[in-house]
Amino acid sequence: MSDQATIGIFLLLTLAFPAGAMAAAWLFRPAPIQSAEKRTPYECGVDTRGPSWMRFRVNYFLYALVFLAFDVETIFLYPWAVRFQALGLFAFVEMLVFIAILALGLWYAWKEGALQWY
């Protein structure tokens, strides 16, 4: 079998694991006593007020944007790292340029306050 096929079959088998666990629990557990009170969202002794799916500070999204940029860089850096020894000095200079640009981006995000948590 090819590697990909093996991983695919392993994934299919693994799907059975949580399903089996839930089925086993279904055998053992009592039928839930349904009451509106029991199914209310957990809160410290009072009912939840206002919508739960609420807006979040823009902070989180700034991090997400910076992350996206860096994560794409990671994908570029891995193939480069694998071939680093084979490519010689050229690869090293290329990498210096690439990482300088990356560091510039990080410095810019830092300066603009995207990394500030408040």
Partner 1 sequence: MEELILDIGRWLVSGLQGLGLSAAWADLVLLLVQWGCIVGIVTANVIVLIWLERKVSGFIQQRLGPNRLGPYGVFQTVADAMKLMTKEDIIPSGADRTLFVLAPMLFIIVAVMLYVVLPMGRDMAIVDLNVGLFYFISVGSLSTICLLMAGWGSHNKWSLLGAMRSVAQMVSYEIPLAFSLLGVVMIVGSLNLGDIVAAQQRVWFVLLQPVAFVVFFVAATAELNRGPFDMPEAEQELTAGAFTEYTGMRWALFFLAEYTNLVAVSALASTLFLGGWQGPLLPSWLWIIVKTYLVMLVFMWLRWTFPRIRMDHLMSLSWKVLIPVSLANIVVTGAGLELFRAMGW
Site for partner 1, rule CB under 8 A: 1, 3, 6-7, 9-11, 13-15, 17-19, 21-22, 24-26, 28-33, 36, 38-43, 48, 52-54, 56, 60, 63-64, 66-67, 70-71, 74, 77-78, 81-86, 88-89, 92, 95-96, 99, 102-103, 106, 110, 115, 117-118
Q: How far is the CB of 77 from partner 1 (least distance, A)?
A: 6
Q: How far is the CB of 80 from partner 1 (least distance, A)?
A: 9
Using DSSP, state whether 77 is helix, strand or coil: helix
Q: How far is the CB of 63 from partner 1 (least distance, A)?
A: 6
Q: How many other C-beta atoms can be found within 10 angstroms of the C-beta atom of residue 80?
A: 13
Amino acid at 32: P
d(CA 43, CA 48): 6
E strands, the chain, in order: none
d(CA 100, CA 94): 10
Q: How far is the CB of 48 from partner 1 (least distance, A)?
A: 7
